[in-house]
Amino acid sequence: MKKILVSGGAGFIGSHLCTRLINEGHHVICLDNLFTGVETNIEHLKNNSHFEFVNHDVEFPYLIEGLDEIYNLACPASPIHYQYDAIKTIKTSVLGAINMLGLAKKTNAKILQASTSEVYGDPVVHPQVESYWGNVNPIGIRSCYDEGKRCSETLFMDYHRQNNIRIKIIRIFNTYGPRMLPNDGRVVSNFVVQALQNHDITIYGTGDQTRSFQYIDDLIEGMVRMMNTEDEFIGPVNLGNPNEFSILELAEKVIQLTGSKSKLVFKPLPHDDPKQRQPDITLAKEKLNWQPTIELGDGLQKIVEYFKEYRYRN
């Protein structure tokens, strides 16, 4: 049994990771300030003697003994939430990384940074490979998140070089699944919630911009495999689904799955919104023996069922 800390563990991705680690028989400490995470995401774990929830903000140091692994996930991850308090977002990324790396140093734990495809900005290289340095606007409205995550990667590399911290870096591409917030602001949850309510489905721009959508279970599998690689392999590694879909195609799939009467409405594209996003996952296949297995149609069906039930519960 390992003792594992998950920062941001009550969030969408973090709660699924905590569940997976508990199911594998580990002792899990879930650290979350509930800024975007919610306790209902981890309610099913609270009676487990190997699970602890700690309400804590990673902007401030956290001390604990005897850790084996740390997954650093703490940070708002949708534009609505990370732009709501841009200064807090970048502080969470930068100070959170410093504090979690400091904890890894004290406890000799191995630590994984959940970075993002946003480090590639609006890419001019397609699909995106890990060696691509990106095309990011450092002064745009999204840069609190993009640059915060880029700085986190820098900190991880410097702690590794200077202090021999055992690190792993993953870059997460668009992920969806149960426990996304209905007001998340990300395209999959937006479309499903709008479709279930028969509201107009809002498409920004012409809808021909593309995204690659991976289901949450595929991501969690990739994260655990990355943590379990040999110490010499640190990444960064893209974790995403290379099957590319236009936003228009996604909207049509959601309408079809829900039987919705929603109509499509088009609005101007937000500033700095990337036109294309698609991972090259050659490295993940080679080093992790990993690739997504859940098709978009199957995954969307699961999140449609979740939001139907969510609406009934709430």
Catalytic status, residue 145:
yes
- CA distance to 31, 173, 242, per residue, from 294 (Å): 29, 15, 12
Given the residues 71, 82, 145, 310, select the one marked as catalytic: 145
The catalytic site residues sit at 145
